[in-house]
Copies of this chain bind each other. A is one copy, B any other.
Amino acid sequence: MYELFFQNFNKKVALTQEEETLIKTYLTPKKLRKKQYLLQEGDVCKAFAFIEKGALKAYSVDDSGNEHIIQFGLEGWIISDLYSFLTGEPATYNIDAIEDAELVLISKSAHEELLQKFPKYETFTRMNITGAYLAMQKRLNSIISSPLEERYANFTALYPEIVQRVPQHMIAAYMGLTPETLSRIRRRISSK
């Protein structure tokens, strides 16, 4: 249990065995079945989740009932409504499982205590958020500057795992397109 979590932690900041044991007392495991919610819009996000296994998505739903996916999460990724987590405001995103999943939860109080007491945890946090920022900037840049065909090609090159494991209409929802448009783009690409 927590194998991947500590593997990732140690890759960023090396921990002693004692430190691992200490940190474990702050963690909570959670399993989620496919389609189950981790968080619903309107609730407060009380923990963020490190994904040990499975696939999740964070998304909003517009007035027409369409989903817009702000983030996918696979093994080794962290998923949450960070704004809600940090401020205590109601979440604007839903998070649910695309596949059965195993998570490691860190509650707000655990997070704050770890930040205060444990400098290595702050470094871990800083590196995580930095990585998330850079990934999102790449995505944003692609949206504002690349034609659609190129955007989809970039996406498949960067995240082949997601393309394999996630239905295409969700990838369309991630790219801000209708499923029909994505289907047509894929056909254009494959006919080359």
Contacts and interface: CB of A to CB of B under 8 A. Distances in A.
Nearest to A123: B122
A-side interface mostly: helix
A145 B62 contact: yes
Nearest to A83: B134
Nearest to A70: B141
Interface string A136-159: 110111011110000000000000
Contact of A136 (B86, B133, B173): B133
Contact of A122 (B122, B134, B137): B122
Given A70-B140, A139-B140, A133 B82 contact: yes
Nearest to A68: B145
Interface of A: 60, 62, 68-70, 82-83, 86, 92, 119, 122-123, 125-126, 129-130, 132-134, 136-137, 139-141, 143-146, 173-176
A139 B133 CA distance: 13
Residue of A82, A123, A129, A136 contacting most chain B CB atoms (<10 Å)? A129
A135 to B, nearest CB: 10
Contact of A137 (B70, B126, B174): B70
